[in-house]
Structure 1
């Protein structure tokens, strides 16, 4: 394909280098997205794998099962992120109302980036514990803090999954494919 475009034998090396540079940019931006809430980090990493497969001259080394593994890791991380605030609230002794409030607060908090992602579950768990479960201030605060701890745990999981996705992709490209 590259020779048809350029007709020059050195174009393959230039195309391969350019493809690797763009793929590396996808992976670095995706890893940054594990820390920066407005960037869908895991999705960007998956798109980097797709880009590499489609554009790399010759055999890219990315196998179909790698896309499956990357997609499953992406889905698992997203599910964990959505339920982590509620799970943290319950783990710290909150009621089902606190867990529900943390979940609702997490969704509302997405619209108030970046602080809303941490404060949303905390405020939601506290408010639901106080209003619906009729908890005193201290148990409601503990439930809210639990939701914040769960949300922070999801950040750690996001980073671990992002690194795992990158390592999986690079191992597939460099050693397996």
Structure 2
């Protein structure tokens, strides 16, 4: 079905080694993206598997269930990242307004990388607690710190999931010369 892709002139003479160079480069970029917020790390890792499977076809060794597992890990990690700041705010005693503020702060913080990644949920939770929940500044600060802790926890989980995705791919696919 995807033979046309491998028959493009740009891939003539590249060989299996060239395909592996691109695959490993995508995997490395994905791993970097697990800690650098602007790079969609897990998407690069899944893209490496898809690329490898499409270009080498049946010789790639990539099974259909690898795509399912990698895709599931990607979605799970993204969901965890999205709710982690809100969960941290709630864990530290915040109200629902703190959780909503942490999520809004995370969205706004994406535009102010790299500091916005942690400061966005913190400021959002704090601001929403003070403005809408009308709680004291000390309690609001607890909620904000909780959202920042949740955000940092999500970065750790993203890295662990990225490593797990790469290991899963490496176990599933035979290496050059196998």
Q: For each residue in 1:73-101, what CA deviation from the matched residue of structure 2 results, as whole angstroms up to 9, or x when unmatched?
A: 00000000000000000000111111110
Task: Tell me what 1:133 maps to.
Answer: 133
Q: Which runs of 5+ in 1 are unaligned?
A: 6-10
* Counterparts of 2:33 and 2:146, CA distance in 1: 24
Task: Report how many aligned residue pairs link the two structures.
Answer: 169
- Computed over aligned residues only, the root mean square deviation of the Cα atoms, in angstroms, reads 2.1
Q: Distance in 2 between matches of 1:70 and 1:30?
A: 12
User: Equivalent residue for 2:171?
Assistant: 171
Structure-2 residue corresponding to 1:43? 43
Query: Aligned-pair distance for 1:56?
Result: 2.3
Question: How do 1:56-135 and structure 2 match up within 5 A?
Answer: 56=56, 59-135=59-135
Per-residue CA shift, 1:4-34, capped at 9, x if unaligned?
x8xxxxx6xx611111111000000000000
- Distance in structure 1 (CA, Å) of the matches to 2:72 and 2:50: 15
Q: What 5-or-longer segments of structure 2 have no aligned partner? A: none
TM-score (normalised: structure 1): 0.90
TM-score for both structures, normalised by structure 2: 0.89
SS of 2:174's equivalent in the other structure is: helix
Q: Match for residue 145 of structure 1?
A: 145
Aligned to 1:22: 22
Q: In the alignment, is the contact (CA less than 8 A) between 1:85 and 1:146 conserved in 2?
A: yes
- Supply the distance in 2 between the matched residues of 1:101 and 1:57 (Cα, whole angstroms): 47
- Separation of aligned partners in 2, 1:68 and 1:110: 28
Equivalents in 2 of 1:103, 1:74: separation in Å?
A: 19
CA distance in 2, matches of 1:145, 1:153: 12
